[in-house]
A and B are shown apart, each in its own frame.
Chain A
Amino acid sequence: MTGLPDHARPILQPILQVENLTKRFPSVLALDNVSMDVKRGEIHCLLGENGAGKSTLSETIYGTYLPDSGKIFFRGAPVEIMSPKDAIAAGISIVHQHFVLVPPLTVLENVILGTQKSGLYMDLKYARERLNELSRNYGVALNLDARVWHLSVGEQQWVEIFKALYIGVDLLILDEPTAVLTPQQSERLFSVIKQMRDEGLAIIFITHKLKEVKAVSDRVTVLRKGKKIATVNTKDVSKQELANMMVGRDVVFTIERQDMPPGEVVFEANNLRALNFHGEEGLRGVSFDVREKEVLGLAGVSGNGQKLLFDVIVGQEKPTEGSLKLAGRDITNTTTSKRMKLGLSSIPEDRIKEGLVMDFMVEENLILGFQRREPFAKGKTLVNQKAIRKFSKKSIEDFDIATPSSKQISKKLSGGNLQKLILAREFSQETKFLIAGQPTRGLDVGSTEYVRRRILEQKRKGAGVLLISEDLDEILNLSDRIAVIFKGELMDIIDVNEADIEQLGLLMAGIQKGEEV
């Protein structure tokens, strides 16, 4: 099954047409009169930054959301897609950005879920044959009887893709599929989806990365703030033009990282070992140190122990072995609040679940964790409303938090403002060591830039920073040194000036320098 050269492919009719789709959520107009079409045998990129409406558009095509107005045509005929059921019946499938797998179940069970419409028993034999056939076709090996939570994130992605292919689709939507892959794994994925295209599938590929658009797509539709900007042939536009369409202004932003001489070692991890949720060793002897005025970036594909490392450092998980030192003090066995008092600030990966009390007012969230400290408390036991109000007013101003008042319920704030709220809180104390987990995930360009600037400001002020991120560009832009984590071990720590993407990608896949690929 080799791909035909571009000119040899027949000109195909659109399989999917979307006309004037509008979708409003309570607080935001997510899709504003969007029209587009996708042809058989094409890879069509949906490009836009976070919050542009890419996911909303694809979820509306899949029936997860109902549009407020607009029409969808599939194979030339108008279709009413009221739920995923209708989409599946029509031959549309999706691989969500956040996988929807059932971790305790096997790969096979995950794939066949919902595919069989009648009968008492599960037809496992047929499923096995069909899956093995798919495996052979795309050269992807999957252990069908493994439980999903045993698989790496990359493998889980294949399970998701096989789920979509298993039911036989004409249109496959992939929502940011490379977010969890190493550069090399992404390449592999690209070649597989090109093969699918050549077999006649229509593919919508959602991304915010320009080089991926150039690498895989035939056409690209750019969305910005819920509006369609343009649909163009990929080979007719440059990356710069795409960037301008996506962001709506001329420059694509890069942050100025300042080289500065690092100070004393402020944080040390020695031979850390810890057990994860499943009782397996999720950290296997991690050692590193971070100096004042230094950003250590932790690169790695998600699920390789980053979250566990975060939890161990902030004191939510106990290491089974090894030690932690903060500002010269051993903190291995101290509580979270003691560590905070020693100057540990943290930006958790999941800000809504781990960072904020969403039903609290802004001012209440601004002191979470500091509620027993002066001046927010009088003698540790009484709340000092006045001091809190004053601090809150100042924070809202200093950190440019868009909220009508400090008494606003936090869940009414946008993602960017919630992250600013967390920054305001964490930086209200003198930060000696900052651990930031995915600090810009899901934020729009403006907020991303703001958050990065604030993190670098802490570095300038003298803090040591551990930046955990799956975004290699972010790591390369902000870090002074880069550590790569793979299966709970640090593969290497390299200076940013000596790092290149290719090498980092190999390390992220667990391959040491000089080792055979």
Chain B
Amino acid sequence: MIRIFGYSLEKKPTTSPIMEFVAVLIALLIAFGVSALLIASAGANVAEAFRSLLRGSFGSRSAIAETIIQGTPLILTGLAVTVAFRGQLWNIGAEGQFFAGAMASYLVATSLPELSRVPMVLTIFLAALIAGGVLGAIPAILKVRFGASEVIVTVMLNFVVLFFLSYLLSGPWQDPMSAFLQTSRITETARVSRIITGTRIHIGIIIALISVVVVWFLLFKTTLGYEIRAYGINPIASKYKGIPPLRTIVLTLAISGAIAALAGAGEVVGLHGRLRLDISTGFGFTGIIVALLGRLHPFLVVAAALFMGALWNGSLAMQITTGVPIALAYVIRGVVLVALLAAETLTHYRIRRVCDE
């Protein structure tokens, strides 16, 4: 407790939704200020940089479309992290799970070329779900069985998946016509891109929005969701009341992994049509910020994902017009998260007058 001139700062037992909103606002303002400083320190004109950032993210129909495209995988990775964090399971492996989904899509598209479009696409997303689910279940099982920290295991699995992918891309799956680390294009029947004419908006956004509703329903309307949330807040009491840890942890992380994998499949099927190492701009990690910025609530995750998508596209535009490196987007990403966490605690306090000393 801090006390100055007869006033004390003390913790409130709970916080109101309005204050939570204020916290997000404060966080964004801080991020705004820090990025202005960084832009200036890079020798660019701050006002111009922000103008191009805004133009690049929302300035035109195509900019908005690109923001949605960039936000699409972030909705899914954000949801994946949301499910896991709700259960106090720190899934840092969404990046690897994203690629697991992408690899599963490519595998299905190339090994079952005779399928027609609808079964093909359904099989692809099903395969992605399974791949992500399995990859998510591994740290869960290791946690329950051996007590291995899921944080470290999921991070390690990211590396393993990426090395495995780069092995595939440099050998067995490499496009024979190309010198790059990439596969050849997948068959046309496995692609659902440009669902809105004049834009590159693709099937991913539909998958993402369906997933939002599904995750909301899962968390708040099903007994499993109840158990995930109970376990997340107090695993000990949950165990004492018969909620089985193994089932809960495995399902939570498998669901989380499966959702992240959908993002990977969406990018392959809807956007790139092939597998490369750079089809993710760190979606898995940005998903952590999306989830926290979205207060671990599925609907708010959508807004947070679009915001982060806009940030990326805006930064891209800014790089072109002002020369400020796009890496700025990564800094802002980090600043938003830290500022959000800090602002959040501050809204937990109130100032109260106490008697004279």
Give chain A's interface residues, CB within 8 Å of chain B: 22, 26-27, 66, 68-69, 314-316, 335-340, 346, 348, 353-360, 364, 368-369, 371-372, 377, 380-383, 409, 411-412
A337 in contact with B237 (CB, 8 Å): no
- Closest-by-CB residue of B relative to A411 is B13
A357 in contact with B230 (CB, 8 Å): yes
Within 8 A of A (CB), among B211-264: 220-227, 229-230, 233-234, 236-244
A69 in contact with B354 (CB, 8 Å): yes
CA of A17 to CA of B56, assembled, Å:
70
A355 in contact with B240 (CB, 8 Å): yes
Shortest A509–chain B CB gap in Å is 31
**B194: CB under 8 A from chain A?**
no
CA of A112 to CA of B68, assembled, Å:
62
- Closest-by-CB residue of B relative to A80 is B357
CA of A338 to CA of B241, assembled, Å:
10
Identify 21 residue pairs between A and B in the complex whose beta-carbon atoms are under 8 Å apart, listed by A's number.
A26-B12, A68-B355, A336-B239, A338-B242, A340-B242, A348-B240, A354-B236, A355-B240, A356-B234, A358-B234, A360-B233, A364-B226, A364-B230, A369-B241, A371-B226, A372-B223, A377-B223, A382-B223, A383-B221, A411-B13, A412-B13
- Closest-by-CB residue of B relative to A378 is B223
- Closest-by-CB residue of A relative to B353 is A68
B244 in contact with A314 (CB, 8 Å): no
Known: A66-B1, A68-B355, A359-B233. A368 touches B241 (CB 8 A): yes
CA of A383 to CA of B355, assembled, Å:
49
CA of A506 to CA of B3, assembled, Å:
51
Further pairs besides A340-B241, A371-B223: 5, Cβ < 8 Å:
A357-B233, A357-B238, A364-B226, A371-B227, A382-B221
**B61: CB under 8 A from chain A?**
no
B12 in contact with A314 (CB, 8 Å): no
Q: Which residues of A contact B13 (CB under 8 A)?
A: 26-27, 411-412
CA of A316 to CA of B220, assembled, Å:
27
Known: A368-B230, A383-B223. A68 touches B240 (CB 8 A): no
**B272: CB under 8 A from chain A?**
no
Shortest B86–chain A CB gap in Å is 11
For the complex of A and B, 7 pairs with smallest distance between CB atoms: A337-B242, A369-B241, A69-B355, A336-B242, A357-B234, A359-B233, A368-B241
Q: Which residues of B contact A381 (CB under 8 A)?
A: 222-224
Known: A377-B223, A412-B13. A353 touches B236 (CB 8 A): yes
Known: A336-B240, A368-B241. A353 touches B234 (CB 8 A): yes
Q: Which residues of A contact B225 (CB under 8 A)?
A: 383
Q: Which residues of A contact B14 (CB under 8 A)?
A: 409, 411-412
CA of A336 to CA of B240, assembled, Å:
7
Q: Which of B226, B244, B356 contacts A383 (CB 8 A)?
A: B226
Q: Which residues of A contact B240 (CB under 8 A)?
A: 314, 316, 336, 346, 348, 354-355
Q: Which of B224, B237, B244, B356 contacts A368 (CB 8 A)?
A: B237
**B10: CB under 8 A from chain A?**
yes
CA of A430 to CA of B238, assembled, Å:
21
Shortest B232–chain A CB gap in Å is 9
Q: Which residues of B contact A346 (CB under 8 A)?
A: 240
CA of A348 to CA of B240, assembled, Å:
8
Q: Which residues of B contact A339 (CB under 8 A)?
A: 242
Shortest A366–chain B CB gap in Å is 11
Known: A335-B242, A355-B240. A22 touches B223 (CB 8 A): no
- Closest-by-CB residue of A relative to B14 is A409
CA of A380 to CA of B226, assembled, Å:
12
Shortest A340–chain B CB gap in Å is 5
A337 in contact with B244 (CB, 8 Å): yes
- Closest-by-CB residue of A relative to B220 is A383
A-facing mask of B129-170, CB < 8 A → 1, else 0?
Answer: 000000000000000000000000000000000000000000
Q: Which residues of B contact A371 (CB under 8 A)?
A: 223, 226-227, 230
Shortest B169–chain A CB gap in Å is 41
Shortest B61–chain A CB gap in Å is 41
Known: A357-B230, A382-B221, A382-B222. A68 touches B237 (CB 8 A): no
A-facing mask of B1-39, CB < 8 A → 1, else 0?
Answer: 101000000111110000000000000000000000000
A369 in contact with B224 (CB, 8 Å): no
Known: A26-B11, A358-B233, A380-B223. A316 touches B239 (CB 8 A): yes
B237 in contact with A357 (CB, 8 Å): yes
A22 in contact with B355 (CB, 8 Å): yes
Within 8 A of A (CB), among B281-320: none
CA of A357 to CA of B234, assembled, Å:
6
CA of A369 to CA of B223, assembled, Å:
11
Shortest A346–chain B CB gap in Å is 7
CA of A346 to CA of B222, assembled, Å:
25
- Closest-by-CB residue of B relative to A351 is B237
CA of A194 to CA of B189, assembled, Å:
91
- Closest-by-CB residue of B relative to A25 is B10
Known: A335-B242, A371-B223. A69 touches B356 (CB 8 A): yes
Q: Which residues of B contact A316 (CB under 8 A)?
A: 239-240
Shortest B10–chain A CB gap in Å is 7
CA of A409 to CA of B17, assembled, Å:
14
CA of A380 to CA of B241, assembled, Å:
16
CA of A118 to CA of B222, assembled, Å:
59
A354 in contact with B237 (CB, 8 Å): yes
CA of A357 to CA of B11, assembled, Å:
20
Shortest A29–chain B CB gap in Å is 13
Shortest A370–chain B CB gap in Å is 8
Shortest A275–chain B CB gap in Å is 16
A-facing mask of B33-60, CB < 8 A → 1, else 0?
Answer: 0000000000000000000000000000
- Closest-by-CB residue of B relative to A370 is B241
Q: Which residues of B contact A68 (CB under 8 A)?
A: 354-355
Q: Which residues of A contact B1 (CB under 8 A)?
A: 66
Q: Which residues of A contact B224 (CB under 8 A)?
A: 381
- Closest-by-CB residue of A relative to B227 is A371
CA of A381 to CA of B251, assembled, Å:
14
- Closest-by-CB residue of B relative to A22 is B355
Q: Which residues of A contact B226 (CB under 8 A)?
A: 364, 371, 383
Q: Which residues of A contact B355 (CB under 8 A)?
A: 22, 68-69
CA of A372 to CA of B226, assembled, Å:
10
CA of A377 to CA of B237, assembled, Å:
20
CA of A355 to CA of B238, assembled, Å:
8
B221 in contact with A336 (CB, 8 Å): no
Q: Which residues of A contact B11 (CB under 8 A)?
A: 26
Shortest A410–chain B CB gap in Å is 10
Shortest B235–chain A CB gap in Å is 10
- Closest-by-CB residue of B relative to A346 is B240
Q: Which residues of B contact A359 (CB under 8 A)?
A: 233-234
